[in-house]
Chain A
Amino acid sequence: MNKDKENHFDVIIIGAGVVGCSIARELSRFKVRVAVLEKESDVGWGSSCRNSGVIHAGFNNKTGTLMARYCVEGNQGFQNIARELNVPFKKSGKLVVAKDNSEIAELKRLKKQGELNGVNNLDIIGEKEIRELEPNIQGIAALLSPETAITSPYIYTIALAENALKNGVRFYLNTEVKNIKKKANGKFVLKNKNTDFRADYLINSTGVYSGEIARMAGIDRYRIYPCRGEYYVLDKNASSLMNHLIYPVPHIEEGGLGIHLTPTVDGNVLIGPSNEYIDINKRNDYAVTMEVLSKLCKEAQEFLPAISPRDFIRNYAGIRSKQTSPLQGGYKDYTIEESEEAPNMINLIGIESPGLTSAYPIAKKVVTMIDKKEKLSTNTDFNPYREGILRFEEQDEETKRKLIEQDPDYGEIICRCEQVTKKEILQAIDNPLEARSLISIKYRSRAMMGRCQGGYCQTRIMELLKEKYGYKWNDFLLRGTESYMLTGNRSNGVKAYD
């Protein structure tokens, strides 16, 4: 499958979320010419960066479904991938807490389901044990899942992409697919506003847009029901309030896991997500709403009275690609299939939670589907390892001292709240995907994610961009093209008299 023309690929993946980037990385283990087309200015800006970062154990998913199978497989294999890709990973464990006796039956059901799915070490604990593990939480019983873990979903997505890139995958950011044409020979032509791309295989991993992309190829059977989840991010001070992920007993009809409290790998706490179906035309509306925010706050405080609004530092939202309507509720299993209308196009539809956990098994499945047809040969140059940006703040004092000695850029702390140094910010700016929005720098370096939300460091990062890259006012973008942070220079001046 050799393509020597510029925009001709064996496989084009549309959508650089965690699933798309996983598939890219898995394909790069083989001698395949792969490109990823992403309409945003960076990878993961859809659901992948906007979730709780949980690597679920797999007891929430119905036995026999792909969701259950991939979740357990993904959970059990995650530590290894995290190590290869230098991605944060913490087995915090989860407690699903029952408030009253009526919920205990559900805990038992979940435990049984989990065990059937292959989840290890699930246990039901009583009030006293809950208090010992979590002094601030009250409940009469809880399901303890020690295998539930947390990661940084954006670092994971970025790491997958960087490793895929290193192993030969091409990434085209700011590249929106406007049109898909099937040629007589079964191959595809994708039109972006400036360029044409050609591919033998197409992978549709576009999340909330997957129905629309499928329709471009003539497949009209997929319906996506966007369902938004809003979050609060709490100050690191709040991390002392809990050790585990704390979830209520889920109510299946709601189609979500209920408002839960999740510690993050960086030491923050997340409240959420909420669960609201929104109109398909608003599927990229990541607004947070007054009604939901107050509901989140209230419910969180009921769960954990020690939570104070004084600890709130930020809100965000993500959108689930559900295949069940508001009336139906619940979940539909993952759809990963080719179709008669467009053979060789693999559509991934409805990859909602546990999508992050399942990304790697899903990617392997997709590769298997292609391998069956093409008999892929191994890329002997494949390197699974990717090195991330070293976090100064995490090092012990002696290491900090040495780092500064070797490179004085470690001695300039730019982000006070998160102790991020100039060195790390320069590395973030200089990322291999060439994503240069402030948000891209933020995700990679952690600067601007602290309690002052960039109050101190934002202007300093802009200074660095100007100094090192000659940025003009219109080069400063917050989140991609047209996201101008400034509207011009203040003045340029003509010489004054002396």
Chain B
Amino acid sequence: MIKKDVIVIGGGAAGLAAAVACREKGIEDILIIERESDLGGILKQCIHDGFGLIKFQHSYTGPEYAQKYIDQVEERHIEYLLDSMVIDITNKKIITVVNKKGLKKYQAKSIILAMGCRERTRGAIGIPGTRPAGIYTAGVAQNLINLHNYMIGKEIVILGSGDIGLIMARRLMLEGANVKMVLELLPYGSGLPRNFNQCLFDYDIPLYLNHAVIDIKGNKRVEAITMAKVDRQGEVVLSSCKEVPCDTLLLSVGLIPENELSKMAGIELDPLTGGPMVDEYGQTTVSGIFACGNVLQVHDIVDNVSLEAEHIASGVEKYISSLLKLKNYISIEIGEGLRYVLPQRVQYLADDTTFSFRVKKPDNKKQIIFKNNNRIIKKRSFIRVNPAEMIRIKLTSSELSDIKHLKVELT
């Protein structure tokens, strides 16, 4: 059994940033395990720009952003395995890895989970109809176009106004396809405002809010979809059904943190985020196993992934130095209107901690208030809040000291 101080599972944005940050903290013995043939994760196929506005005050494309971290990994000679899949992980931090060279087991002092997320599928949301060729989740389409140089369709309908769908709408139009419309179930768009401008309005692609796909037609290849309005209770308004001829249905209906390995290790997941329950250092309910990036919570901008990953490095370093003894944690209570808060619990109250939130629906003129037993310890005002935009608020260690009961409210 090979021993390692830190094993990072996943060499995408989160894993790379975490590994580099761990090295910065002085940890030498790090191993990144990546299942693909190259580092970079999903960034490899995100050829659009908008990455790095916060971290680097510059708009990079996905591959450029990834290369910044890959360069750092190479410069610092951080060890990594490619084409290697972790197939098992125990709560004793033993990892089983499979690759062409064989099946190997590693004993890690600490593990950083950075496996990212997968896309929600047609099957998971139960869209009725047939199952012909031409139904793709946006990420798979992006992969086929941007990495494999294929065209996936000519007449496209996109379901879901999340960022990936919007980005793909633009890409498809520029590549000569016709994106007929974007349908969104909710009464508001799920993606970032700038993507609506630059991906839909620029190309006169109509956006239909409060709409669903209730049928797919076509035996061998998609021939049409049926769109329908959805009322406030989420019921389909049958009289509004309209058949739309097309040859492709692109799905951008949500991302699910990929926590199969986390479950194997006995880590407790938060049903609100789909990711592990963590403390302020990103440590999960299994001591010494940390999580960051999309596997912890679905992010909108990669800069926050990097910041999150960099932060947990201090926790990992403390853990390895045996400075993180398990204490009684305080669960954070969230008020109405908030979908979730991360971290879900605090234990040590010794460091500045950045909390991440998402609201349940878009709204104007809101405040987020942190309370310790009804005493307000922090207040932040927002002109506008939007579920598509993660909110991050930092509390200093002094603001956090003496916390007995922490509640976050949206008012």
A-side interface residues toward B, CB under 8 Å? 232-233, 284-290, 293, 297, 309, 312-316, 397, 400-401, 404-405, 408-409, 411-413, 416-417, 419, 451-456, 458-459, 462-463, 473, 477-491
Contacts and interface: CB of A to CB of B under 8 A. Distances in A.
Contacts of B215: 287, 289-290
Nearest to A490: B149
A7 to B, nearest CB: 27
B144 interface: yes
Given A313-B123, A315-B126, A455-B118, A482 B83 contact: no
A365 B126 CA distance: 41
A286 B132 CA distance: 10
Contacts of A315: 123, 126, 128
Contacts of B132: 478-479, 483
Interface stretch (B97-105, B161-169, B379-387): B97-105
Which 5 A-B residue pairings sit nearest by Cβ, starting from the closest? A314-B123, A478-B133, A483-B220, A408-B100, A411-B100
Residue of A458, A484, A487 with highest tally of chain B CB at under 10 A: A487
A75 to B, nearest CB: 31
A313 B119 CA distance: 12
Interface in B75-125: 83, 85, 87, 96, 98-103, 118-119, 121-124
Contact of A411 (B101, B220, B236): B101
B131 A286 contact: yes
Contacts of A485: 133-134, 152
B131 A316 contact: yes
A404 B100 CA distance: 7
Contacts of A486: 144, 150-152
A468 to B, nearest CB: 15
26 contacts: A233-B123, A287-B128, A287-B130, A287-B216, A288-B126, A289-B128, A290-B128, A313-B124, A314-B123, A315-B126, A400-B98, A411-B98, A411-B99, A412-B99, A413-B98, A451-B121, A452-B121, A453-B124, A459-B143, A459-B148, A462-B144, A479-B220, A483-B133, A485-B133, A487-B151, A489-B151
Given A412-B99, A458-B140, 4 more contacts: A290-B215, A404-B101, A455-B119, A455-B137
B129 A453 contact: no
B126 A401 contact: no
Contacts of A459: 140, 143-144, 147-148
A285 B137 CA distance: 24
Contact of B103 (A287, A297, A404): A404
Contacts of B217: 287
A118 B242 CA distance: 54
A312 B102 contact: no
Contacts of B119: 452, 455
B139 A411 contact: no
Contacts of B131: 286, 316
A268 to B, nearest CB: 12
A383 B87 CA distance: 37
Most B CB contacts (10 A, CB to CB) among A400, A411, A451 go to A411
A401 B148 contact: no
Residue in B83, B133, B140, B260 with the greatest tally of chain A CB atoms within 10 Å: B133
Contact of B221 (A312, A417, A483, A491): A483
B35 interface: yes
Contacts of A293: 126, 128
B124 A312 contact: yes
Contacts of A316: 131
B174 to A, nearest CB: 11
Contacts of A473: 150-151
Nearest to A313: B123
Interface in B21-57: 35
A290 B227 CA distance: 13
A485 B122 CA distance: 16
B103 A401 contact: yes
B126 A312 contact: yes
Interface centre among A286, A404, A485 (most CB of B within 10 A): A485
A306 to B, nearest CB: 14
B406 to A, nearest CB: 28
A232 to B, nearest CB: 8
A453 B121 contact: yes
Contact of A456 (B118, B129, B150): B118
B130 A286 contact: yes
A487 B98 contact: no
A285 B130 contact: yes
A480 B96 CA distance: 38
Contacts of A488: 150-151
B102 A404 contact: yes
Interface in B228-282: 236, 247, 260
Contacts of A289: 128, 215
A404 B98 contact: yes
A462 to B, nearest CB: 7
B45 to A, nearest CB: 10
A488 to B, nearest CB: 5
A400 B102 CA distance: 8
B154 interface: yes
A491 B133 CA distance: 22
A315 B129 CA distance: 9
A284 B132 CA distance: 13
Contacts of A286: 130-131
B102 A405 contact: yes
Contacts of B83: 412
B398 interface: no
Nearest to A473: B150
A482 B98 contact: no
B214 interface: yes
B133 A489 contact: no
B219 interface: yes
Contacts of B363: none
B298 to A, nearest CB: 15
Interface centre among A285, A456, A480 (most CB of B within 10 A): A456
B148 A284 contact: no
B62 interface: no
A287 B129 contact: yes
Nearest to A294: B126
Nearest to A393: B87
Contacts of B134: 485
Contact of B133 (A405, A413, A455, A479): A479
Given A455-B140, A473-B150, A490-B151, A484 B133 contact: yes
A413 B134 CA distance: 25
A473 B151 CA distance: 9
